Amino acid sequence: MINELSYVGFRSPNYLEWEAFGQDIIGAELVAPGSDGAVRLRFDEVNYRLAIHPGIRDELAYAGWGANTEEELVSYVARLRAAGVDVIEGDSELRAERQVAAIAWFVDPFGLRQELSWGKYATPTTFRSPRGVRAFVTGDQGLGHVVFVVPDLQEAHEFYTKVMGFKYSDEIASPTATFRFYHVNGRHHSLAIVAVPGMVGCNHVMLEVADFDDLGKAIDLCVKNGVDILRSLGRHTNDKMLSFYVATPSSIQIEYGYGGFVVDDETWVARTYESPTVWGHARSARAVSNPPGIVVPVESLKVGA
């Protein structure tokens, strides 16, 4: 099985602006660029977990799902193939680019590229946040979570649970949108999905800091530097995360969180919530008028446009 959201990649014409944004606001460490000039950011001992590649438009390039061991990756790929998924083995060039021991990938039914790997390269004790973030919560909970925009909620639910094996956490059915949440480790969700008919993409990526003050300082830095806060500080109903949502140089949003709930599969009981928030998370005028993250018509991905 897969055990974590290991890394995420985007493409954007504004990719170079992520050098300053990633360091000064997020507090991630800038590392050497990819072969295409991609801006790469580091959050822990893993050499990098977020890459923003050059591109002609904003889009999710790939979500990278990690298996704990070679054996688990091999059996997971076999499981996907048995379910009819066309999984492609990554070559040495892709392995070197992603800095993993082995990699395979496929395009899901909605046009999103899903990468599968194990053995991500790491350099212990060398993470240094340029703005003094003490630590990001990663380890056995992976990078954080990613929220896909899919054209059909039920079809996506079937694929991500029955084919990819994500475990259902819960659902938020609010008057404006229904989200479903899935876990692959203790983190309440590594994946969430929300349906927008005819569209596909990525709503946001969540990064979690280990110290609440590092979240508070991020809010101060956004205000000081004129970076738009799209949702104010608030607490989510399901994962209990305290977080705010920040606009990035691209159309993807970052949820910057603290104190997320950890799921124990032995005792977990799925609930349904009618609101995403206990309090806060008020949307700014820009958040109300902008598209929900990076979204493109589903047909534009299926024809490879």
Query: Judged by CB, which is closer to Fe ion: 59, or 255?
Result: 255
Query: Judged by CB, which is closer to Fe ion: 117, or 169?
Result: 169
φ and ψ of 172, to 5 deg:
-115, 115
Q: How far is the CB of 292 from Fe ion (least distance, A)?
A: 12
Query: Judged by CB, which is closer to Fe ion: 77, or 184?
Result: 184
Binding-site ranges for Fe ion (CB under 5 A): 206, 255
Query: Judged by CB, which is closer to Fe ion: 80, or 208?
Result: 208
Buried b (16+ CB within 10 A) or exposed e, 273-298: beebbeeebeeeeebeeeebbbbbeb
Query: Judged by CB, which is closer to Fe ion: 58, or 255?
Result: 255
Q: How far is the CB of 243 from Fe ion (least distance, A)?
A: 7
Q: How far is the CB of 147 from Fe ion (least distance, A)?
A: 6
197 contacts: CB under 8 Å, gap ≥ 6: 151, 152
Q: Other C-beta atoms within 10 Å of 89: how many?
A: 11
Query: Judged by CB, which is closer to Fe ion: 90, or 276?
Result: 276
Residue type, position 96, single letter: A
Query: Judged by CB, which is closer to Fe ion: 105, or 136?
Result: 136
